[in-house]
């Protein structure tokens, strides 16, 4: 395999080369670092790259391998983390100039677990300021450039840098966080796989909070198998995050990954997901039903009114706004003018909300989650567009605060349903627009059923070639 092609390989493919001795972790890291140096001045996906630290970790991984102490299929794999996630000794800025001196004193649990699995940290990726924003715009640190178009298009947020870094082949995996779609939106718009995990499966300890009710951590990868590998390495109970107390100590999502979908019950959720969606998006996602039928799944349509009810119940984002305001109220009082206006208008909703409104919304969403589980009892997963529209030009979305307020909910509408209802969700590439922009299929499963949605996504991926397309980055070199 020519070195110039390494960046488009999946971690599973790279792992086979590393364990066979054909590729060393150091050579792979050097390749990734060279690619970041070549392209990221225009892509702007990374907030921080610590070259010496990354190479030292890669060298340690190579030595462990030679000593027969390989940690498994992720050993030696470069990865990046969203700059909400603590890495000891490095700043966690959460996309804001207000936290430039916020040096982490310890690793987040997910970083510690990935390091234990042998992965090697390359750097920290950009994020929307304090993770508030679906289009992926950051006026403090700059907005990453969607790799699929020479003219700046939105990358999706809030894990904007992670989406661009993986989509452009700078790193094979990057972690993101998902509170209302922040893993799935950039994954869909940048042509990658993105896994939104169920709250309680993966620890959030050491992750800058947006909303403890909805925050989750998940990977953006080049393949479904890679997402499964990372998920399995990260998940499990953690005393530092009380939400994970019910998580099983171990879950095997890999053994059944290749079992196919024959006999599974899949359904298009006929509800708000399709309203005002782009025609090319609708066509691409609907076409997935034929693929699943050919693979032996039972594909039907179901009414899913809970989706619209979930959007109505938390329509103004009161839960995340209140919880975010609690995290920010002291800093807002002292440094309000230093916040991005597109962030403050949403956080300040939390200041004005009453305790009654917040608690009633929590109760209503909990009741809707239980109702959704009953509706989905007889299906293994439902299908919908990840985003109702593809990536749009950055200048159009960021033309004014009013333009931003118009487009922001259009990117997050479909994804945030899963957060409100406590579902797990996977996005996989399922087509491209006439402008060559990626389209994502969202596979939604019941909470704590990541194994099923990964199995479904893997079957679809193996039956199609959308994931094999790569962007032409000649404009960025």
Residues identified as active-site? 82, 158, 182
| Residue given tokens 């996309």 in the structure block | 95
**CB within 8 Å of 388: residues ≥ 6 apart:** 273, 274, 275, 276, 277, 278, 281, 410, 411, 413, 414
The two beta strands, 298-303 and 217-221, are: unpaired
Can you give the C-alpha Rg of the chain in angstroms? 21
Measured in whole angstroms, how far is the alpha carbon of residue 136 from the centre of its chain? 12
Please return the burial class of 342, using the count of CB atoms within 10 Å of its CB with bins 0-12, 13-18 and 19+: buried
Which residue in 74, 78, 73, 72 sits closest to 58, CA to CA?
Answer: 78
φ/ψ of 75, rounded to 5, equals -60, 125
Which residue in 205, 218, 232, 228 sits closest to 104, CA to CA?
Answer: 205
> How far apart, in Å, do the first and last CA atoms of the chain sit?
22
DSSP H or E stretch at residue 12: helix 11-20
| Residue given tokens 């293994």 in the structure block | 380
Rounded distance between C-alpha atoms, residue 353 and residue 375, angstroms: 31
DSSP letter, residue 269: E
Rounded distance between C-alpha atoms, residue 163 and residue 429, angstroms: 13
**CB within 8 Å of 441: residues ≥ 6 apart:** 284, 285, 288, 383, 385, 386, 427, 428, 429, 430, 460
Q: Report the half-sphere exposure of 20 (CA within 13 A, side-chain side).
A: 8
**CB within 8 Å of 37: residues ≥ 6 apart:** none
Contact present, 429 and 439 (Cβ < 8 Å): yes
Contact present, 119 and 376 (Cβ < 8 Å): no
Measured in whole angstroms, how far is the alpha carbon of residue 63 from the centre of its chain? 32
């Amino acid at each position: 395999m020519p070195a110039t092609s390494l960046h488009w390989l999946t971690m599973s493919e790279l792992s086979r080369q590393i364990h066979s001795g054909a590729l060393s972790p150091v050579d792979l890291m050097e390749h990734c670092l060279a690619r970041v140096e070549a392209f990221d001045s225009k892509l702007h996906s990374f907030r921080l790259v610590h070259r010496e630290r990354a190479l030292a970790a890669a060298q340690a991984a190579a030595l462990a391998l030679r000593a027969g102490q390989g940690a498994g299929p992720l050993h030696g794999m470069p990865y990046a983390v969203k700059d909400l996630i603590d890495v000891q000794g490095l700043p966690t800025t959460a996309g804001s100039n207000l936290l430039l001196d916020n040096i982490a004193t310890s690793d987040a649990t997910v970083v510690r677990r990935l390091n234990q699995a042998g992965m090697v940290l390359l750097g920290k990726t950009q994020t929307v300021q304090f993770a508030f924003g679906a289009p992926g715009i950051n006026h403090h640190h700059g907005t990453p450039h969607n790799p699929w178009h020479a003219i700046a298009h939105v990358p999706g947020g809030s894990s904007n840098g992670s989406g661009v870094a993986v989509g452009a082949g700078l790193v094979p995996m990057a972690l993101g966080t998902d509170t209302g779609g922040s893993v799935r939106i950039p994954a869909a718009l940048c042509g990658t796989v993105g896994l939104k995990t169920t709250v309680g499966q993966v620890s959030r300890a050491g992750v800058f909070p947006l909303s403890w009710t909805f925050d989750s951590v998940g990977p953006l990868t080049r393949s479904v198998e890679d997402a499964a590998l990372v998920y399995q390495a990260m998940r499990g109970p953690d005393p530092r995050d009380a939400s994970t107390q019910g998580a099983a100590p171990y879950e095997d999502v890999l053994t059944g990954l290749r079992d196919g979908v024959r006999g599974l019950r899949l359904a298009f959720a006929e509800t708000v997901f399709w309203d005002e969606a782009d025609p090319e998006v609708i066509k691409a996602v609907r076409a997935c039903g034929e693929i699943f039928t050919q693979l032996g799944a039972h594909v039907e349509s179901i009414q899913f009114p809970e989706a619209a009810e979930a959007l109505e119940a938390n329509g103004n984002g009161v839960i995340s706004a209140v919880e975010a305001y609690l995290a920010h109220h002291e800093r807002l009082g002292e440094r309000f003018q230093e916040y991005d206006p597109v962030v403050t208008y949403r956080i300040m909703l939390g200041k004005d909300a009453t305790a009654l409104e917040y608690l009633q919304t929590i109760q209503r969403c909990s009741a809707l989650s239980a109702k959704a589980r009953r509706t989905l009892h007889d299906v293994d997963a439902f299908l919908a567009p990840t985003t109702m529209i593809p990536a749009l030009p950055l200048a159009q979305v960021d033309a004014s605060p009013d333009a931003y307020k118009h487009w922001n909910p259009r990117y997050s509408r479909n994804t945030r349903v899963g957060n409100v209802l406590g579902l797990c969700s996977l996005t996989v590439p399922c087509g491209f627009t006439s402008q060559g922009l990626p389209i994502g299929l969202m596979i939604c499963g019941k909470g704590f059923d990541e194994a099923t949605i990964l199995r479904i996504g893997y079957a679809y991926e193996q039956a199609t070639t959308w994931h094999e397309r790569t962007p032409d980055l000649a404009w960025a070199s």
